[in-house]
Amino acid sequence: MAIIDILFSKRHLLCLHIVNNPVTMIDTEVVSKIAQKMKAIRLEKGMTIQNLCDRTSLSKGLISKIENSRTIPSMPVFVNLIQALGVPLKDFFEDLTYLIGKDYLHVKAKEYSKIKKEDRPGFNYFHILSQSIGSCTLESVILTLDGKTSGQPTVTDGFEYKYILQGTCEYTINNTKIILEEGDSLFFDASKPHFPTNQNKQKVVMLVLYFLMLK
């Protein structure tokens, strides 16, 4: 398969290299954007995760984790999924960009984008940034939990850090329940089933950092 290099505006550049190498890893700085776009196209086409399973022979669990940025697949897996969506690779990647050439990354609050991970009512995610750091990818989001909201157990291939900006909630990791109050921090192995619960009427706001490990 040919190499694709796409140059955009002065501030952005995306260099995507697709080669005939089964272990090639996609650039981890754009993993989150690819996952978000892939899920958006699937929903736009009215396709279910099961439809993609049938077309790719991948498991529902793996596809769900990829769409929700809870794992980093190899490039062939991403390509397989994109082709199963019926979208030409060049068209899919044409508007995916990231900042380069600076010693820092400044993201204005107005640039945060609302995203969906799992379809959980009352969970509102605002994506801040994703950045590769050594052998892992850092993804940061602001999560707002509406009042009287509880999630279902999820797992992530990596580690997670939570910092409570507002409110109080209960966080369950395996069978351990932890009370988190404003100003509290929590770091844990996210491969263990985990989920938050907001038993109060007031919303809870937390900063979430995902450290996704390369598989």
User: Residue 148: which region, alpha, beta or left (left: phi > 0; alpha: psi -120 to 50)?
Assistant: left
User: What is the structure's pLDDT at 133?
Assistant: 66
Structural domains of the chain ordered from first start: 4-99 (1.10.260.40), 109-213 (2.60.120.10)
Count of CB atoms within 10 A of residue 188's CB? 16
Q: Is the pLDDT of residue 18 over 60?
A: no
pLDDT digits 0-9 by tens, 34-59: 888 888 899 999 999 999 999 998 99
Tokens at 88, concatenated? 């030409």
Question: What whole-number percentage of the chain has pLDDT above 90?
Answer: 43
User: What is the structure's pLDDT at 189?
Assistant: 94
pLDDT band at 85 (very low <50, low <70, confident <90, very high): very high
Angstrom distances, CA of residue 143 to CA of 57, 73, 122, 162, 209: 32, 24, 10, 10, 10
Tell me, yes or no, if the pTM score tops 0.75: no
- Does residue 163 or residue 3 have the better pLDDT? 163
User: What is the structure's pLDDT at 105?
Assistant: 72
pLDDT digits 0-9 by tens, 92-137: 876 655 545 556 677 788 888 888 787 788 999 888 877 766 667 8
User: What is the structure's pLDDT at 12?
Assistant: 32
Q: Is the pLDDT of residue 3 over 80?
A: no
